[in-house]
């Protein structure tokens, strides 16, 4: 019996030592996250609420991928110009929009949300399940003028919601 105790204890200690880094990384992913971006200065300050209220646009009008794809996607400038060719408010933001368009420059929108590369998020699964955009992005129709991250959206948040709705929680569902 004695003979086995030593290797057993050494083995256990080794296991605990090996588990520490994994636990630390997992704990970090619950509490600290690279997905939370500070509200970035955009090349054109795009007011979401006014487009929902004055222009009566659906989110899908510009973010066309939400129901079919992982990515929501960003609208092309041509789409903006369909309206702003004629809707010119005299504001500096619209002048900037027109400059970009006439020079043929792409607008490099700053990312607001940004999952790390090893994480797999799919818009379509969530949107087709029936969640509103507001569930994760807040009320961008009447409250949040400029896009910002309002929900935690770290691993703990994803998993809590998956448990609540009986969605899968295997590591491979969300990780490549
Ligand atoms: C007329 C086009 C248009 C419409 C309609 C629109 N958006 Fe956007 N959306 C944009 C543009 C342009 C950006 C990039 C600028 C920014 O992030 O502020 C953006 C950014 C976003 C972002 C941040 C993206 C990131 O980088 O993480 C979210 C979230 C978002 N929109 C959600 C919505 C929701 C929800 C609705 C409907 C209530 C909506 N959008 C309607 C054009 C649109
Ligand atoms: C369906 C028509 C439509 C589309 C498409 C559209 N807009 Fe607008 N936009 C409007 C309307 C209407 C207003 C509100 C004007 C007002 O308040 O008098 C507006 C307002 C704005 C403003 C605020 C202007 C100000 O005076 O402060 C900006 C900036 C803007 N749009 C940028 C964009 C960008 C960038 C896109 C493309 C991603 C876009 N719009 C697409 C109709 C549209
Ligand atoms: C279950 C939560 C959830 C719901 C519901 C949701 N989103 Fe998102 N959205 C996210 C997450 C998480 C990201 C970051 C994805 C990434 O970085 O890969 C994101 C990113 C985005 C982006 C920028 C990146 C991209 O995918 O193009 C846009 C635009 C966006 N969402 C729009 C919408 C719109 C519009 C709706 C409703 C039709 C919606 N989202 C519904 C969680 C959600
Ligand atoms: C508001 C609740 C909620 C949040 C928050 C949420 N999810 Fe989900 N997710 C669901 C539900 C419910 C499903 C199952 C949809 C179905 O059964 O079609 C799902 C499905 C998925 C799927 C597809 C699974 C499959 O096999 O089709 C992936 C991938 C996913 N979620 C990743 C994420 C990630 C990553 C996050 C965090 C950034 C997240 N989810 C946040 C509720 C949520
Ligand atoms: C429902 C989606 C989801 C599931 C299931 C999931 N994760 Fe994650 N995981 C995420 C998201 C989102 C992030 C990135 C944000 C963060 O760091 O919290 C992440 C980050 C991580 C990280 C990196 C942490 C860091 O700080 O860089 C590790 C390691 C990880 N997950 C391991 C796992 C393991 C192991 C499992 C299975 C037991 C698992 N994940 C299941 C969504 C998920």
List ligand 4's pocket residues with C-beta within 6 A: 119-122, 125-126, 129, 131, 135-136, 153, 157-158, 161-162, 165, 167-168, 173-174
Residues 6+ apart with CB under 8 A from 121: 70, 115, 174
What are 25-38's pLDDT values in tens digits? Answer: 555 555 555 555 55
For ligand 3, residues with CB inside 6 Å are 59, 63, 66, 71-73, 113-115, 121, 123, 126-127, 131, 133, 135-137, 153
Residue 99 CB–ligand 2 contact under 6 Å:
no
Residue pLDDT, tens place only, 53-70:
999 999 999 999 999 888
**CA distance linking residue 40 with residue 51, whole number of Å:** 20
What pLDDT band is residue 1 in, cutting at 50, 70 and 90? low
Structure-block tokens of residue 26: 């997992």
Query: Is the model's pTM score more than 0.85?
Result: yes
Report pLDDT digits (tens) over 98-145. Answer: 999 999 999 999 999 999 999 999 999 999 999 999 999 999 999 999
Q: Is 52 in the pocket of ligand 1 (CB under 6 A)?
A: yes
């Amino acid at each position: 019996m004695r003979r086995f105790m030593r290797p057993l204890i050494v083995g256990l200690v080794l296991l605990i030592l090996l588990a520490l880094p994994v636990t630390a990384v997992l704990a970090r992913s619950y509490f600290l996250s690279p997905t939370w971006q500070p509200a970035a200065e955009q090349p054109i300050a795009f007011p979401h609420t006014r487009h929902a209220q004055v222009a009566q646009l659906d989110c899908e009008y510009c973010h066309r991928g939400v129901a079919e794809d992982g990515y929501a996607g960003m609208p092309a400038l041509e789409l903006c110009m369909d309206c702003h060719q004629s809707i010119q408010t005299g504001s500096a933001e619209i002048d900037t929009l027109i400059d970009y368009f006439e020079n043929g420059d792409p607008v490099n929108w700053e990312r607001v949300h940004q999952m790390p590369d090893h994480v797999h998020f799919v818009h379509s699964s969530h949107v087709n399940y029936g969640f509103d955009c507001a569930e994760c992005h807040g009320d961008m129709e009447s409250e949040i003028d400029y896009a910002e991250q309002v929900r935690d959206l770290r691993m703990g948040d994803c998993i809590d919601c998956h448990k609540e709705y009986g969605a899968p929680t295997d590591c491979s569902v969300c990780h490549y």
